[in-house]
């Protein structure tokens, strides 16, 4: 994926026109070094640190920064993210993983359109991966139904006045497998190095996502509806991660590109993104 994005970033008329290569050194970075997640775990907080919240916001923020963690506030609650070392000479960035955008699609929500995630109290740990959606791979069932989460990677939490461009990327997998978990082909290093916020949403796959019996109980296309809800979440929360909600590009690879094609046609997706981009798409049935 990176070679294609490199060429796109270098074109003035590209989807990413606001982003410019800054130096020869930046172009020569070997992003393949980012095969492993280089998150630095948050240092252990003093046992009394939690009590500082009510008495000294400044002291609490200082302790979090020293620990390699930082909080952001969403309409649904506060999140704790982690500082990540960039690959090679790429810049460091902040990662917020497993952030819920949809309620667990279980019981009466199974096979149906998702609902927004409920608010939470306190600070939610977003330093570790969330669940992948249920799928079968190598004859093993993996994942859990409580899987409607996004991973967010942002270059900085010191927001520029105009905000950063946002790329929402939908993974491939023939609509039967895949997830937003960290992988070399979905790694954020190249994009965050060029001032792009990368957001990777999960969506239901297989029978949970695309079984259609044309009945009220199983109306079909639940996975596509997950994508729509994720885009609304991005529109409402991009600014918390220094993203510009008016500069959102949606992109997908293979089955993810098929998702983007359908989302571009869906009336419910209007106003949630600026541009679509599809890579090696699967042709829709005719």
Phi, then psi, of 138 in degrees rounded to 5: 55, 45
Structure tokens at 156: 């900085």
Distance CA(193)–CA(135), nearest Å, equals 33
pLDDT per residue as tens digits for the range 118-159: 999 999 999 999 999 999 988 899 999 999 999 999 999 999
188/42 Cα distance (integer angstroms) = 20
Question: Among 133-137, 181-185, 266-270, whose mean pLDDT is lowest?
Answer: 181-185
- Specify the pLDDT at position 249: 94
pLDDT confidence of 182, banded at 50, 70, 90?
low
Find tokens 């020569």 and name the residue: 28
Q: Which of 40, 88, 71, 97 is nearest to 189 (CA)?
A: 88
Provide the pLDDT for residue 8.
39
Examine the pLDDT at 101 and tell me if it is beyond 60. Answer: yes
Both tokens of 270, joined, read 């209007």
Q: What is the pTM assigned to this prediction?
A: 0.78
**β-strand partners of 78:** 73, 123
Q: Is the pLDDT of residue 5 over 90?
A: no
* pLDDT tens digit sequence for 199-239: 999 999 999 999 999 999 999 999 999 999 999 999 999 99
**Tokens matching residue 11:** 């074109």
Residue-averaged pLDDT of the chain:
80
pLDDT 10s digits, 17-62: 333 333 333 334 343 333 334 455 565 443 333 344 444 444 444 4
50 vs 46: CA distance, rounded Å: 8
Q: What is the pLDDT of residue 31?
A: 35
153 forms beta bridges with 95, 198
Structure token pair of residue 225: 């509806």
Query: Once rounded to an integer, what is the mean pLDDT over residues 98-114?
Result: 97
Inform me whether the pLDDT recorded for 260 exceeds 50: yes
Write down the pLDDT at residue 270.
Answer: 82
């Amino acid at each position: 994926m990176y070679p294609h994005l490199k060429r796109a970033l270098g074109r003035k008329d590209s989807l990413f026109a606001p982003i410019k290569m800054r130096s020869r050194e930046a172009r020569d970075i070997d992003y393949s070094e980012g095969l492993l997640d280089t998150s630095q775990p948050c240092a252990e907080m003093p046992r009394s640190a939690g009590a500082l919240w009510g008495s000294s916001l400044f002291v609490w923020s200082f302790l979090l920064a020293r620990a390699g963690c930082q909080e952001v506030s969403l309409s649904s609650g506060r999140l704790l993210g982690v500082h990540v070392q960039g690959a090679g000479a790429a810049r460091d960035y902040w990662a917020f993983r497993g952030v819920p955008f949809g309620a667990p699609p279980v019981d009466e929500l199974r096979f149906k359109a998702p609902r927004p995630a409920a608010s939470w109290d306190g600070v939610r740990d977003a330093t570790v991966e969330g669940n992948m959606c249920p799928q079968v791979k190598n004859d093993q069932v993996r994942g859990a139904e409580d899987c409607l989460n996004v991973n967010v990677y942002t270059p900085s939490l010191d927001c520029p006045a105009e905000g950063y461009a946002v790329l929402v990327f939908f993974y491939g997998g023939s609509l039967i497998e895949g997830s937003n978990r960290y992988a070399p082909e979905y790694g954020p290093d190249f994009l965050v190095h060029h001032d792009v916020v990368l957001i990777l949403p999960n969506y239901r796959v297989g029978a949970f996502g695309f079984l259609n019996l044309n009945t009220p109980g199983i109306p079909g296309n639940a996975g596509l509806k997950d994508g729509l809800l994720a885009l609304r979440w991005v529109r409402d929360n991009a600014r918390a991660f220094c993203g510009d909600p008016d500069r959102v590009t949606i992109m997908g690879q293979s089955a993810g590109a098929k998702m983007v094609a359908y989302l571009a046609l869906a009336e419910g997706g209007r106003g949630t993104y600026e541009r679509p981009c599809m890579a090696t798409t699967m042709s829709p049935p005719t």
